[in-house]
Amino acid sequence: MPAHSSPKASHSHAPHRSTPTVQCQACTLRCGPSFRQLSRRELRLVSGMKRRDITLAAGADVFAQGAASSFIYTLYEGWAVRVRTLPGGERQILDFVLPGDLIGLAGYLLGSSPYSVQALTPLRLCVLDGTRLPALFRTEPDLAMALMVARTREQQRGDTRLTLLGRLGASERIGYLLLELRERLRSRGLFEGQSCAFPVQRRLLADTVGLSKAHLMRALRQLREQGLANLSDSVLTIPDARKLARFSGYFLAPSKEQHPIL
């Protein structure tokens, strides 16, 4: 039951705004093989939902817990986290948000966001008008289904995280989490070979796997000494994913997931 007094460097979001510089049609993200291709008509509608793109500094909030918003966002570049803060100040990272992910749907659908989204690195994101979503559902049922599938996958990830915290030991949790991130990055073409940039501070990682910072260090050391995973200087190295998977009980699925985007 750890606790900490977070410095809470949350800028309220009214940052570098701009009229759309990246047109949806030219979005390099969506052209990648790992994303669902939109029909011309879908693209036009989604394009019409787009209000602007914004850039955020590392550490900034995309939106805050409890906020109501009619905007939803697509992360274009950078890493972020969904985080929930308890009344007592404790913090739990719910999930990592990677390029191509949609965020803020819950805030829009539920009227108030049950979590914050915070930037881990500088971010570029598209701001979309959520109020157009019902119209989108009306005319583009396939896209709606795709969104539903993406949501389901996200939920499944949450279920996995829950299982991790409930039933696995410290090192296994971390190993599992690292592998999962690796897979998500790979499926977007953001992880090649054995290493990748990993802009996640220890404290944050601890708040993800439900450990104290000190104990997280011990577990990381164990992983390092066993040659399973190495995390230093914000670079993650996994020499042998299969070995790590065996250690942490991960199911290494090929995962031909197609991200629906927007």
Partner DNA sequence: CGGCTTCTTGATCAAGGTCAACCTTTGTGG
Partner DNA sequence: CCACAAAGGTTGACCTTGATCAAGAAGCCG
Residues that bind its own copies in the complex, under the rule CB under 8 A: 1-3, 82, 84, 86-88, 90-92, 94, 105-106, 109-110, 114-115, 133-134, 137-138, 141-142, 144-145, 147-149, 151-156, 158-163, 165-169, 172, 207-210, 249
2 vs 114, beta carbon nearer DNA:
2
Q: Which of 232, 239, 252, 255 binds DNA (CB under 7 A)?
A: 232
When binding is defined by CB under 7 A, the residue of 170, 178, 185, 241 that contacts DNA is: 170
- Based on CB atoms, which residue is closest to DNA, 2 or 66? 2
Q: Which stretch binds DNA (CB under 7 A): 67-75, 137-145, 208-216, 243-251?
A: 208-216
Q: How far is the CB of 110 from its own copies (least distance, A)?
A: 6
Q: Does residue 89 interact with DNA by CB under 7 A?
A: no
The whole-angstrom separation of Cα 155 and Cα 119 is: 21
Q: How many CB atoms lie within 10 A of CB 27?
A: 22
- Say which entry of DNA, its own copies, none residue 203 contacts (CB below 5 to 8 A, set by partner kind): DNA
Beta bridge partners of residue 35, listed in sequence order: 259
Please, which residue, 58 or 94, has the CB nearer to its own copies? 94
51 binds, among its own copies, DNA, none (CB under 5 to 8 A by kind): none
- Contact between 195 and 241 (Cβ < 8 Å): no
Closest distance of CB 58 from DNA, Å:
10
Binding region for DNA (CB under 7 A): 1-3, 7, 169-170, 201-203, 210-215, 217-221, 232
